[in-house]
Amino acid sequence: MKGRTVILDHHEGREAAALMVDGQLDDLLIDSDAPTPGTIYRARADRPVKGQGGMFLTTPDGPAFLRQVKGLAPGQMLLVQVTGHAEPGKAIPVTQRLLFKSRYAIVTPDAPGLNISRSIREDDLRDRLLEIAHETVGRDGPGLILRSGCAAADPADIAEDISAMLATAATVLGDGGSAMETLIEGDGPHTLAWREWVEPAQIVTEPGGFARESVLDAIDLLRGPAERLPSGATMYVEPTRALVAVDVNSGADVSLAAGIKANIAAARALPRALRLRGLGGQVVLDLAPMPKKDRRGFEQALRAAFRGDPEETALVGWTPLGHYELQRKRGRIPLSEVLG
């Protein structure tokens, strides 16, 4: 089945959204009991951690950890936002740099100025978007980023979206409360799908969509570590307590180019494999054997593959043993924890 399809449904009693591209599951969002990235708390500073330059906070959902604190004293109340998924037994990662993100706009109170997504390159369109932003925000408003979805959006919808985010930001920043409280819940799967999957797509909202669109079959495959690659190669993605181990096997191909072919196929498939499983942190690739002269081609394929991935990923480089390392933001709860 060609094209893009967004399915909004529930899975095992939890709100869920799936993105199918050309009949293949490309992205998956399932609600969990953990605090959602984007959640904003009024939190209380608890105790500093001198060696790490941060401070533990107390929030309505449990302990949180804030890095790079200056002038913050225990007992002080402050506004913080959840930035990612907390590993089991660890504090919720938070920041004081609040972002108010919607489909077309991101309000950035701590970063003044008007900016437009770099993916929008047409000068006339950029000028029109700047006019909309100036008219809506005004001279002394907070910072604003217009997202790539603005390229095909109606100007009235963009202005409405900006106004809604400005109003939300003003309400939160003007908060005068003195007790711990959750001020804004992070977006759930259905809202997040509307916000992030902006390319034209067929929308399926009727109950049972996951079964009819083969999403359930794809989820069953994600319970295992194997990812089938072209030419009979296989990639195994297995999270451990310390890191995510990725093993690439060339399979039955015994040609001289078997290793580089399998590794490039793995590079192209890796962002999707990590995204669907909700995996982040340190990722170590044990690649199929290939000559050192082929490493540059592999790196280029890996860099191109991660360029369009929504989660921030640093391509660290090679280890002395010939493994390749990545560092990926833990922006989602692992699928294994959601499915149980």
pLDDT at 211: 96
Examine the pLDDT at 189 and tell me if it is beyond 90: yes
Examine the pLDDT at 151 and tell me if it is beyond 90: yes
pLDDT at 138: 81
pLDDT at 50: 78
**pLDDT band of 10, cuts 50, 70, 90:** very high
Which of 8-17, 68-77, 133-142, 245-254 is the most confident on average?
8-17
Of 97, 79, 92, which Cα lies nearest the Cα of 34?
Answer: 92
What SS3 string covers the chain?
Answer: CCCEEEEEEEECCEEEEEEEECCEEEEEEECCCCCCCCCEEEEEEEEEEHHHCEEEEEECCEEEEEECCCCCCCCCEEEEEECCCCCCCCCEEEECCCCEECCCEEEECCCCCEEECCCCCCHHHHHHHHHHHHHHHCCCCCEEEECHHHHHCCHHHHHHHHHHHHHHHHHHHCCCCCCCEEEECCCCHHHHHHHHCCCCCEEECCCCHHHHCCHHHHHHHHCCCEEECHHHCEEEEEECCCCEEEEEECCCCCCCCHHHHHHHHHHHHHHHHHHHHCCCEEEEEECCCCCHHHHHHHHHHHHHHHHCCCCCEEEEEECCCCCEEEEECCCCCCHHHHHC
Tell me the two tokens of residue 279: 């995996």
Does pTM top 0.85 for this prediction?
yes
Of 94, 99, 93, which Cα lies nearest the Cα of 78?
Answer: 94
pLDDT at 318: 97
Examine the pLDDT at 86 and tell me if it is beyond 90: no
Q: What percent of the chain has pLDDT over 70?
A: 100
Find the mean pLDDT for residues 215-230.
94
What pairing do the DSSP bridges indicate for beta strands 324-328 and 24-30?
A: unpaired
Ranges 18-27, 295-304, 330-339: which has the least confidence: 330-339
Report the chain's mean pLDDT, rounded to a whole number. Answer: 94
Q: What are phi and psi of 317, to 5 degrees?
A: 135, -165
Report how far residue 65's alpha carbon sits from residue 54's, in angstroms, rounded to the nearest whole number. 7
Find the mean pLDDT for residues 106-135.
94
Report how far residue 5's alpha carbon sits from residue 270's, in angstroms, rounded to the nearest whole number. 21
Examine the pLDDT at 251 and tell me if it is beyond 90: no
CB under 8 A, 24+ apart: contacts of 228-235: 229/262, 229/265, 229/266, 229/269, 230/261, 230/265, 231/258, 231/261, 231/262, 231/265, 233/258, 233/261, 233/262, 233/265, 233/266, 233/288, 235/265, 235/266, 235/269, 235/270, 235/273
Examine the pLDDT at 51 and tell me if it is beyond 80: no
**pLDDT band of 315, cuts 50, 70, 90:** very high
HSE-CB for 113 with a 13 A CA cutoff: 3
